[in-house]
Amino acid sequence: MEIAGFSVCPCCQAPTRPQALNTNLQLARLVEGLAQVPQGHCEEHLDPLSIYCEQDRVLVCGVCASLGSHRGHRLLPAAEAHARLKTQLPQQKLQLQEACMRKEKSVALLEHQLVEVEVRGQHGGAWELSWEFWMLVF
C-alpha cells in the first residue's frame, strides 16, 4: 500500500519511504535455497528421489519413504518400478486403443440412431402420432 510516495513497512506497518526498507536477508536466503533444489531431489530433504511409492504413484526420497507421509505405503526402488512400468506400457496402450474403438463405435451408433429419429420425425412421425391417438380414443 502506498500513500503519497510512502510504503507500509511489512514488519511494523508504519509508513516508510521505499528507499529506507532493507532487504530481509533471512527470507532472501530461504528463497534462494529453495530455488536451488536440484531436479530429481526432494524439495523437503534435498535427498535424491530414489524410491517409487506405488500407492501415490510418485517418486520419493528415503526420508519421506521411511519417516514421512509415505511410511507404510507399498514402495519399490525407482529402477525396479521403472522397469515394471515400462513393461506394462504396451498392454496399457492396447487397452486404451480398444476403449477408444468402443467409444467410436458407440458414437457412430448414436449418430445413426439420431438420423433415424430425424427421418422418422420428418416423414412418418405425424402418422405414428395420429395412429397412437386413434388407438387411445377407440
Q: Which residues of 54-68 are buried (b: 16+ CB within 10 A; e: fewer)?
A: eeeeebbbbbbbeee
Q: Does domain 37-137 have CATH number 3.40.50.300?
A: no
Query: Where do the domains of the chain lie?
Result: 1-36, 37-137
Give pLDDT tens digits along the chain (138 positions).
Answer: 556 677 777 777 778 777 777 777 788 787 776 667 788 999 888 899 999 999 999 999 999 999 989 999 999 999 999 999 999 999 999 999 999 999 999 889 888 888 887 777 776 555 565 666 556 655
pLDDT at 48: 94
pLDDT at 112: 85
pLDDT at 4: 66
pLDDT at 96: 96
pTM, two decimal places: 0.50
Q: How far apart are CA 101 and CA 130, in angstroms?
A: 41
Strand runs labelled E in the chain:
2-3, 6-8, 15-16, 51-53, 58-60, 75-77
Which residue's C-alpha cell is 514421512? 68
